[in-house]
Amino acid sequence: MPPQRSTGTDSEAEHPRYAGQYLLEARLGSGGMGIVHLARSASGLRLAVKVVHAEFSQDPEFRGRFRQEVAAARRVSGAFTAPVVDADPDAAHPWMATLFIPGPTLAEHVKRNGALSTDRLRHLMAGLAEALRDIHRAGVVHRDLKPSNVLLAEDGPKVIDFGISRPSDSELRTETGKLIGTPPFMAPEQFSRPRHVGPAADVFALGSVIVHAATGSGPFDSDSPYLVAYQVVHDEPDLTGVPDELLDLVARCLAKEPEDRPTPDELMTALRSVSASYDTRAFIPEQRTGGGESAVPERASRPRPRPRRPEGAEDRTHVAAQKRGGRRRRLPALVVAAGLALVTGVVVGAFGLPGTSQSPAGEHHAALPPGHAFRPWSLDLKTSGSEAAGRPQCTYTPRALLCVRPGVLAAAMDPDNGEVLWSRSDTGTTSAYSTPAPVLSGGLLLVGSGDGRRLTALDPATGATRWTRDVGRYEGRIAHAAGVVLLVAPDSEVTALDAATGREKWRHTVPGMHLPQFHSFGDGVAYAISTPTVTETRVAAVDPRTGATTWQRTMNGQLGVVAAHDGTVWFTSTTADQYTDAVLRYDVAERRLHRTALRVQQAQAQVAVRGDIAYLLGNDGSLVAVNTRTSKQLWRVETSVSKASAPAVAGGRLYLTAVDGRLLAVDADRGALLGQTRPRPGGTRGSLVSVLPAPLTAATHVYATAPDGTLFAVDGRDPSGW
């Protein structure tokens, strides 16, 4: 373990240099529980790592509460929260790492820019309603929703900080007489009966947050928290400045009795009727029914009396409107760039959608031939007695789909009908978020444990163990290439193992490389990446069988390798804010580097390459196709599917999976949506994860996994029939 350090004199300054395997690069902020640091994962993703204050680390009650926070955050990790990447609540300094989401908090935005416009308020309210729906669906009550716990990301608001939230099955209860929360945004029942706080308290807080966003202050405002508490329990809210079209809905959220407040689903339905020009479904098409008719759910809204405005309300509303209108808003650079793209003739469209560098899953399989009979299938992959949640992670062979899942060490399924050929349980792995995908190498199936400490090689035909090795000291820095396992130690020494036997082949450092990250794409080469400075990237091609470096080059910018074939290697260029701004192709024989700048930068794009065409899917749902030889952008669409899987390309189609378990097919030539499956979100408890496995394609079949734990297969020839 790297040495720990302390800086400064105050109690908050004490913190380790590392949290697990993550180097803490900069301090983002601090709160009552701990300090939040900026860090990076092995693949280069920026992370927000919360490390508990040293003074609390020895408190058993506090550790229990932090474990509860980690459990709650993991349950709801998905599209509307900061996804949990890793955590260790039992470390000397307990910590939790989530994906870093660029963007201010709502509190910061309102303080800096004033109240939100009506349109932005509607979007905010709809986004928070969706977030609460998924949080409550996962069996969690947040209990501290407030402007400082709402991040304004580009793809919608994100709810953060589950420090005092409580899963419904938690054994840790609120102490008698102890109020936990932020008074201006607490519901009446949080003051009067804190042991019986339910999801309706979060809806009350949502109403208070919207009032703050609309006016700059809350519906109950005083310098004294005691007076605020009295107002929350006994007084009517001050809704002066809330737009008329949202007034009744906000008043319903702030009802004194929990049963009188709308549910998040009712809020979303009501918001759809507020304005014909606004649709909270984010381009969700109507679902088909058996008779071919569309089924649009309807919920009756309970009428509520219109809240009375206090005397002088019209004057205060006028002042608030002047405050909102007095500041000229600058269009974001992305919007301006998108407008320029339209003017210059780039094809830009929008889907009608329902809501580490690896070779694209469909890259190595044949196109979809006609005339092959196939019946879709679905199964819940788990072993007897295993109730662990989480998506399966799979790899394809013509004879079997080989998968892992929390609680399942490995299993093999018939690709044609889903029949389980063999399965092995793993009672020691319970995390739904860290089980790595299996790899077929050297004729064996290599599977890692959820804690990253053990690598096991199995016979893919029977599931029998062939060899196993402790790999804990490598802290997850494991790669596979050409039948070789590459292990990178903390001192940058690389150990190569024969995947067929587990025996060591060679051991040394790669010249000029500090903690290299290895990637392979089926061409027999291991591509090593390291970033010696923030402005350059060093790339080396290594023969994994001998360890010899065949070529090495230093390139400008922060680059990640995304594909390689036929003597060409593709990279993406990333800005300091984690936006992908270009695709680079490197001709190895000619030592020539060609850069294709994107017209509009992509948020943390994932990439699939087919021939000369690169397809980039942004974290915000934008999907772009560019010809890397001619530097022409072919098309661009806004999918409205945020934080989707990496795309897979095969047979002239792109496939991707959404956080709710939908599989989508896109025409690779035009960017048009061809079809999508139904959602499989994971039931009432939910199990959204932060990194989604890409779909797998082979012949006529497309395989995908879902948060409810299912593995399913569909006919790739007819996506419109999914």
pLDDT value of residue 141 = 87
pLDDT value of residue 169 = 40
pLDDT above 50 for 279:
no
pLDDT value of residue 79 = 66
Lowest mean pLDDT among 70-79, 132-141, 200-209, 634-643: 70-79
Lowest mean pLDDT among 95-109, 111-125, 379-393: 379-393
CA distances from 279 to 78, 210, 353, 451, 641 (A): 22, 18, 13, 42, 15
Instruction: Check if the beta carbon of residue 359 is closer than 8 Å to that of residue 563.
Output: yes
Most confident of 59-68, 407-416, 479-488: 479-488
pLDDT value of residue 408 = 87
Q: What are phi and psi of 3, to 5 degrees?
A: -65, 150
Q: What are phi and psi of 644, to 5 degrees?
A: -80, 175
pLDDT value of residue 164 = 57
- This prediction has a pTM of 0.56
CA distances from 568 to 189, 503, 564, 629 (A): 63, 32, 6, 11
Residue 221: left if φ>0, alpha if ψ -120 to 50, beta else—which one? beta
Q: What is the per-residue DSSP string for 643-691?
A: T-PPPEEETTEEEEE-TTS-EEEEETTT--EEEEPPP---TTT----SS
Residue 168: helix, strand or coil by DSSP? coil
Alpha-carbon gap, residue 545 to 188, rounded angstroms: 67
pLDDT value of residue 632 = 96
pLDDT above 70 for 274:
no
Instruction: Check if the beta carbon of residue 85 is closer than 8 Å to that of residue 690.
Output: yes
- Residue partners of 229: CB distance under 8 A and separation at least 6: 183, 186, 191
pLDDT value of residue 206 = 97
In terms of C-beta density within 10 A (0-12 exposed, 13-18 middle, 19 or more buried), how is residue 171 classed? exposed
| Tens of pLDDT, residues 654-690 | 999 998 889 999 999 999 999 999 988 765 333 444 5
Mean pLDDT, range 416-436, rounded to an integer = 73
Mean pLDDT, range 697-715, rounded to an integer = 90
Q: What is the per-residue DSSP string for 342-367?
A: HHTT--EEE----------TTTTS--
What's the number of CA atoms in the CB half-sphere (13 Å) around residue 392?
29
Tokens 């792109």 belong to residue: 654
Alpha-carbon gap, residue 532 to 540, rounded angstroms: 13
Q: What are phi and psi of 638, to 5 degrees?
A: -105, 110
Most confident of 11-20, 549-558, 691-700: 549-558
Compare 500 and 453 and report the one with higher pLDDT.
500
Lowest mean pLDDT among 32-36, 155-159, 433-437, 533-537: 433-437
pLDDT above 70 for 341:
no
In terms of C-beta density within 10 A (0-12 exposed, 13-18 middle, 19 or more buried), how is residue 169 classed? exposed
pLDDT value of residue 135 = 87
Mean pLDDT, range 445-449, rounded to an integer = 92
With vertex at residue 705, the alpha carbon angle to CA 99 and CA 296, rounded to the nearest 5 degrees, is: 90
| Tens of pLDDT, residues 496-543 | 999 999 999 999 999 999 999 999 999 999 999 998 887 899 999 999
| Tens of pLDDT, residues 50-87 | 898 877 777 777 787 788 778 777 777 666 788 888 88
Enter the tokens of residue 572.
Answer: 């993406």
Residue 127: left if φ>0, alpha if ψ -120 to 50, beta else—which one? alpha
Compare 70 and 481 and report the one with higher pLDDT.
481
Alpha-carbon gap, residue 467 to 53, rounded angstroms: 42
| Tens of pLDDT, residues 145-183 | 999 999 998 778 999 887 655 544 443 344 434 445 688
H or E stretch covering 332: none
In terms of C-beta density within 10 A (0-12 exposed, 13-18 middle, 19 or more buried), how is residue 539 classed? buried
- Residue partners of 190: CB distance under 8 A and separation at least 6: 143, 179, 180, 181, 197, 201
Mean pLDDT, range 297-310, rounded to an integer = 35
pLDDT value of residue 636 = 92
Compare 129 and 178 and report the one with higher pLDDT.
129
Single out the residue of 558, 571, 507 nearest to residue 530, CA to CA. Answer: 558
pLDDT value of residue 382 = 65
pLDDT above 50 for 320:
no
In the chain, the percentage of residues whose pLDDT exceeds 70 is 76
pLDDT above 90 for 492:
yes
| Averaged pLDDT of the chain | 78
- Work out whether strand 348-350 and strand 632-638 pair parallel, antiparallel, or are unpaired: parallel
pLDDT value of residue 35 = 87
Q: What is the per-residue DSSP string for 78-136?
A: STTB--EEEEETTSSS-EEEEE---S-BHHHHHHHH-SPPHHHHHHHHHHHHHHHHHHH
Q: Predicted confidence band at 391 (pLDDT cuts at 50, 70, 90)? A: confident
pLDDT above 50 for 713:
yes
Tokens 């004199």 belong to residue: 9
Q: Predicted confidence band at 299 (pLDDT cuts at 50, 70, 90)? A: very low
- Work out whether strand 420-425 and strand 408-413 pair parallel, antiparallel, or are unpaired: antiparallel
Lowest mean pLDDT among 249-253, 283-287, 627-631, 709-713: 283-287
Instruction: Check if the beta carbon of residue 149 is closer than 8 Å to that of residue 159.
Output: yes
Compare 181 and 40 and report the one with higher pLDDT.
40
| Tens of pLDDT, residues 574-632 | 987 778 999 999 999 999 999 999 998 888 899 999 999 999 999 878 899 999 999 99
pLDDT above 90 for 446:
yes
